[in-house]
Structure 1
Amino acid sequence: MKQNKNLLPRQLGDSHIRLLRVFKVVIESGGFAAAEVELNISRPAISLAISELESLLQMRLCHRGRSGFSITEQGQHVYQSALQLLNGLETFRSQINAINTDLVGDFNIGITDNLVTIPQMRITRALSALKHRAPDVIINIRMMPPNDIETAILDDQLHFGVVPNLRSLPGLEYQALYKEKSQLYCSEMHPLFNQDLDQISDQALSQYDAVVPNYPQPADIKQQQKILKATATSTDREGIAFLILTGRFLGFLPTHFADRWLAQDAIRSIEPHRRYFDTQFMAITSKGARSNLILEAYLEELNKIK
């Protein structure tokens, strides 16, 4: 009688893979007794699985009995083929998982200037968590004016941005990050520095030169600065700090940015209980952007930090 060459079904199911896994562990453990611990199943169950595999393949795979355990020549060939199959399945699983989970590529973000000293540090801590989670990600940071950040997000040049809450554009998603407090300051070389700064009139302040931003700001913030004698402008807060430190100008700075000079008595705040404003900063992303695993991972880490 001619032997049937098609010993296995055309499609291997989970039950067949399970039998091969049991056989592999038995061979590598050197017998049924040692395989019990590794497989966490009883010796009779292991024996049944090996017998079922031998019946399926129509060949003797191993000797077991009083003389001890040993693998047959056919069993050795089956073991090598099983290794190839099981290793191939594991490689396939790893490669598919890598497609879905490996974070590789560039992460481009745009940030409004001088946020690095803000105490909450949500952006910094989330970037640290992202780099720990995905060491192969390349992070590219650009310090940009808010309008340029919005444009770059909409043009897919940036994945993520941080801007003050000035307006809502229909193509952007907004998420509140934190509020930043700003106060009015003068430097140690300014005529007001040694005066009583807890109470000073609008008229008195209007006599001194001041530096104001030339970037967009909400109406309520602009109202605070209307009383100032604006004789200088700056595109960013660092420029404002430069001019305040000359001793020739008053100007508003974020408190977290000004603290370094405040601690050195190089500047003083003017009527801090009254002359201040809060700026809400937002994280922005594109509504219509293609799915980006790096961005999704970063937003996930950002949302863990409060």
Structure 2
Amino acid sequence: MLNRLQESDIKLLRVFYAVASCNGFTAAEPVLRMQRPNISAAIKKLEERLDLVLCHRGRGGFQMTKEGEVVFQETKRIFNAFDNFVFNLKSLHDDYSGHVTLVIMAGMPLSVHLAVSKAVKSTMKKFDDIHVNIQTRLYNEVEHVALSGECHLVVSTYDMVKPESVTFHPIDVKVQGRLYCAPTHPLAKYREGLPDGVKLEEYPAIGISGLSSSNYIQGDNRLAIQTFSDSYDGCLSAIMTGEYVGLLPDYMTKETAAGLGLVPVGGGDQFEFSHELFVMNGKNTRLNPVLRHCIKELGFFIKESQK
């Protein structure tokens, strides 16, 4: 069992990380510039060091074990943090090269993803030795990744009390939404407004992990949250069962859920919300010229995409 990380272990972890990222030994060969027997030997040695089976390989193809999934996620965090350390160290010498890690909140609309692509392209054009690693995280993870050093910048909404350890760069764009139900839900027939006597707290609702509880309160009304999802996508799936009502951003009904017949409860004025979009970074992140330019371009292109 591994008690202390050695330099040789880092090399073995990089082999495993490439194999897991490529979902197979053969696909990882050109990435690692290693032949399959050498890759297999490295994985076997790592498994012996960790005293864990990380993956199965054979006629059924490559498949990671549950333990392998955990090691992969932890390895990703280590290498992201290491790349960020190297990038920040270089910037102290006015060397603006290396990898920038940018996280986008899962479930953002296509327009935001396209705007992020334009901002990244602009940044890479201005600083020609920069490579940008774009990842997604769930809503309840964005604060952690901003603080942990796993990434440099995060594009996300945030409606909780803002911690002093995170810097928020407003984009002047709001994500608006409201309470929705499936066309098969009993409330779907009230498209023009809820009649007197209909109480929303009598209908099971699904919540979003990490979302402020104030979103589930409107005046004297309170949603009856029976279960939670970790994303708007998961919330959408639960709503479409016809068993739950839930909050969704309006862009989902126009993009992801277009054609599903989602109904705004009570004509669309129930539990309306408006969450501001931010570029975020932990205050321990050094905002060198590369990151400052990227923040500026993200704000510009995302705001332009909403016109």
Structure 2-normalised TM-score? 0.57
After superposition, the Cα gap between the structure-2 partners of 1:295 and 1:187, relative to the gap in structure 1 and judged at 3 Å, is: same
Which consecutive unaligned segments of at least 5 residues does structure 1 have? 1-98
- 1:198-227 Cα deviation digits (max 9, x unpaired): 2115744333222112213163x2314963
The one-letter code matched in structure 1 to 2:268 is P
2:108 is paired with a residue of what secondary structure?
A: coil
Query: How many Å apart are 1:261 and its aligned residue?
Result: 6.2
SS in 2 for 1:140: strand
Aligned to 1:47: none
Structure 1 position 146, deviation (Å)? 4.5
Could you tell me which residue of structure 2 aligns to residue 95 of structure 1? none
Matched residues in 2 for 1:263 and 1:148: separation? 27
CA distance in structure 1 between the partners assigned to 2:178 and 2:244 by the alignment: 14
Alpha carbons of structure 1 residues 117 and 204: separation in structure 2 relative to 1, 3 Å: farther
Distance 1:200 1:135, change over 3 A: farther
Structure 2: any 5+ residue segments left out of the alignment? 1-92
What's 1:180 paired with?
175
Would the alpha carbon gap of residues 190 and 291 (structure 1) be closer, same or farther in structure 2, given more than 3 Å must change? closer
**Which residue of 1 is the match for residue 286 of structure 2?**
290
Query: How many residue pairs end up in the alignment?
Result: 205
- Name the structure 1 match of 2:43: none
Distance 1:171 1:207 in 2: 40
Aligned to 1:116: 109
Considering only CA atoms, is the larger Rg found in Structure 1 or Structure 2? 1
Q: Provide Cα deviations, 1:247-275, integer angstroms capped at 9, x if missing partner.
A: 22111100011213664252111121343
Structure 1 contact 165–281 (Cα < 8 Å) conserved: no
- The Cα RMSD (Å) is 2.9
Matched, 1:196 2:193: no
2:255: which partner in 1?
A: 260
Match status 1:301 vs 2:301 = no
- 1:197-236 aligned at under 5 Å gives the runs 197-201=191-195, 203-217=198-212, 219=214, 221-224=215-218, 227-236=222-231
Letter of the 2:259 partner, please give it. Q
Runs of 4+ in 1 over 6 A off after TM superposition: none
Aligned partners of 2:106 and 2:137 also within 8 Å: yes
How high is the sequence identity, in percent, across the aligned residues? 20
The 3-state SS of whatever aligns with 2:212 is coil
- Which position in structure 1 is the counterpart of 2:277? 281
Q: Is the 8 A contact 2:184 2:242 kept in 1?
A: yes
Calculate the TM-score normalised by the size of structure 1: 0.58
Give the distance between the partners of 1:120 and 1:141, measured in 2 at CA. Answer: 10
State the Cα distance separating 1:230 from its structure 2 match: 2.1
Q: 1:269 to 1:121 in 2, by over 3 A?
A: farther
